[in-house]
Amino acid sequence: MNHRHDPSCLTFRLLAWGDLSHMHGWLNTPHVMEWWGKAGTTLEAVAAKYTPRLAGKHATKAFVILYEDVAIGYIQVTSQVRLGGVSGAG
């Protein structure tokens, strides 16, 4: 079996309302709960957390990672704000 993956098949799309149930399931899997050191969460809590991002009212932009059009993960990007003359650039 070939375990190499074609990076050209990797894409991203903005998180959508229809993804919230998938996020809920993912956040309640044992390996994710262990990684974050948290107990499971409710669908209502997931909706409360991600609704501002979906509505464009949060600095964090949420994306679904796709491989060959199959959702395989989640990634987010947060705008850096310059504070006290310090930025993320080195």
- Enumerate the domain spans of the chain: 9-78
Q: Do residues 27 and 72 make contact, with C-beta atoms less than 8 angstroms apart?
A: no
Find the DSSP H helices in 2-77: 20-27, 30-36, 43-54
Q: For the segment 53-84, what is each residue's pLDDT rounded down to a tens digit?
A: 999 899 899 999 999 999 999 999 987 765 55
Kindly indicate whether the domain formed by 9-78 is annotated with CATH number 3.30.110.60.
no
Residue 12: its pLDDT value, please? Answer: 97
Average pLDDT, the chain: 87
Structure confidence at residue 37 as a pLDDT band (50, 70, 90): confident
- pTM attached to this predicted model: 0.76
